[in-house]
Structure 1
Amino acid sequence: RTLVIRAAEAAEAGQTLPQLKASIEKLNASINGFGVLSTLEYLWRGGRIGSAKALLGTLLRITPVLAFEAGEVKVLAKARTTSRAIEYLLELMKERIKGSSPIHAVVVHTHALELALALKKEVQARFNCAELDLVELGPVLGTHIGPGFFGLGFYSEQDWQPNQY
């Protein structure tokens, strides 16, 4: 959604098609995405992890913290509590933001509004947000990650300079 909106803004500002393509590719490469699963069940059901891993993770109450990079999902950490997972997300965000540049962010969730609102509140308190949205993910993604997922996507305003080309 963000890429489409920014592309429309750049086109409206008079960018040529090659300039627009370069701007959007740069922005796409700079978007960070992280999330937290509440259960491993849906990854197991979808064949993304084995039954032993799902069982062990459930027994140990492991909460995977994921990164979405270059079209791939990677496990960055395994938190034992939701509050630790939220804190880990905020630390990752702090590491990835360049300086004090305003950020554009979205907090996402699948039937985890309370957790998403808590994360949004912390993001708003700790970062200079030019834009901060809250979005419930639809059933297509929800089928794969299950209910209780929450996460965030963001980029620094300095990564979106459509007039630099």
Structure 2
Amino acid sequence: MNIKILADSASDLSENHYKSYDIEMVPLTVHMDDEEYKDAIDIKPKTVYDAMREGKSPKTSQASPESFKTIFTSYAESKQPLVYLAFSSELSGTYQTAKMMEQEIKETYPDAELHVIDTKCASIGYGLTVLRAAQLANDGAGVEKIIETATYHAKHMEHIFTVDDLEYLYRGGRVSKTAAFVGSFLKIKPILHVEDGKLIPLEKIRGTKKLHSRMLEIMEERGKDFSNQTIGISHGDDYDTAKKLADAIEAKFNPDDILIEMVGATIGAHAGPGTIAIFFLNNDYK
């Protein structure tokens, strides 16, 4: 019996990915207009971005304990091993909730093969890690091999991204009010990255053309060998910019493949429209 891979909606993978790789998904929650929506099930990212452009401030919350309890119980009862690769614990309480439910289920099913892993990753950086694990699972790899490889990919996954408006990060508590005001006033665009699961400001650039050139420079500085990698690009409802960046990456680095996806509703509610992110390994592909 093959290992089952579970991810949450913050991986920003498409429905086609989940079906093609036989991955199960647990949704985080989006709150908007006094309503609750299951991310990627009841609400699409475009809806969230359009609402934000109209001045609305959607909120998000972690995946529910009940969702994990249902999923974990199902796999415990069927005696099928399950590996849940979680959205960064520094950005959501989803991982902690899953660990709590794992322990609860194992009290009833002590032999259940449930494994909960904190990837410390987000968006397509997280999604690429999930896809690698799913490839191994579909090839019949064991739990140890899957966890070891996924952990390696997560550890070495770079997240280099920028946002169009610092106001959204300010609302989410990621930057100060002063930084948001000054950035918007001076048309300064931030470059951020993820370090040990946290969003960390890296540089400030004035001008979009310089911004994207600098992102490619950082990619070159931090990357090692792109020839057998899939490079990830995610965007906040700005496919044209993502495609231009993909073309530049293709010409400069000639990677094995490039995956472009829209930033999902959960992360997009904090990053905002116009977000652009690049994801790649800073070490050898495994």
Greater relative contact order structure (CA < 8 Å, 6+ sep)? 1
Question: Aligned to 1:98, what secondary structure does the other structure show?
Answer: coil
Identity of aligned residues (%): 29
Bigger mean CA deviation after superposition, 141-150 or 5-14: 5-14
Give the number of equivalent residue pairs: 160
Matches within 5 A, 1:24-103: 24-99=150-225, 101-103=227-229
Deviation at 1:157, TM superposition (A): 8.1
Structure with bigger helix share is 1
Task: Answer yes or no: is 1:150 the counterpart of 2:150.
Answer: no
1:136 aligns with: 262
Deviations 1:27-49 (A, max 9, x none): 11111111111111111222332
Counterpart amino acid of residue 81 in structure 1 = G
CA contact (8 A) 1:110 1:148 kept: yes
Q: Deviations over 1:39-96 (max 9, x none)?
A: 1111122233232221111111110001122211111110101111111110111112
Q: 1:40 to 1:159 in 2, by over 3 A?
A: same
Distance in 2 (CA, whole Å) between partners of 1:6 and 1:70 is 20
Q: Of residues 3, 17, 21 in structure 1, which corresponds to 2:147?
A: 21
1:23 aligned counterpart, secondary structure: helix
Deviation of 1:4 (Å): 2.3
Give 5+ residue unaligned stretches, structure 2: 1-126
**Whole-Å separation in 2 of the counterparts to 1:71 and 1:4:** 16
Q: Distance in 1 between matches of 2:192 and 2:283?
A: 23
Higher Cα radius of gyration: 2
Q: Report the secondary structure of 1:55's partner residue.
A: helix
CA RMSD of aligned residues (A): 1.8
What is the letter of the counterpart of residue 269 of structure 2? T
TM-score by length of 1: 0.88
- Residue 234 of structure 2 corresponds to residue 108 of structure 1: yes
Verify the 8 A CA contact 1:112 1:147 in the aligned structure 2: yes
Unaligned runs of 5+ in 1: 161-165
Whole-angstrom CA distance in 2 between matches of 1:69 and 1:131: 25
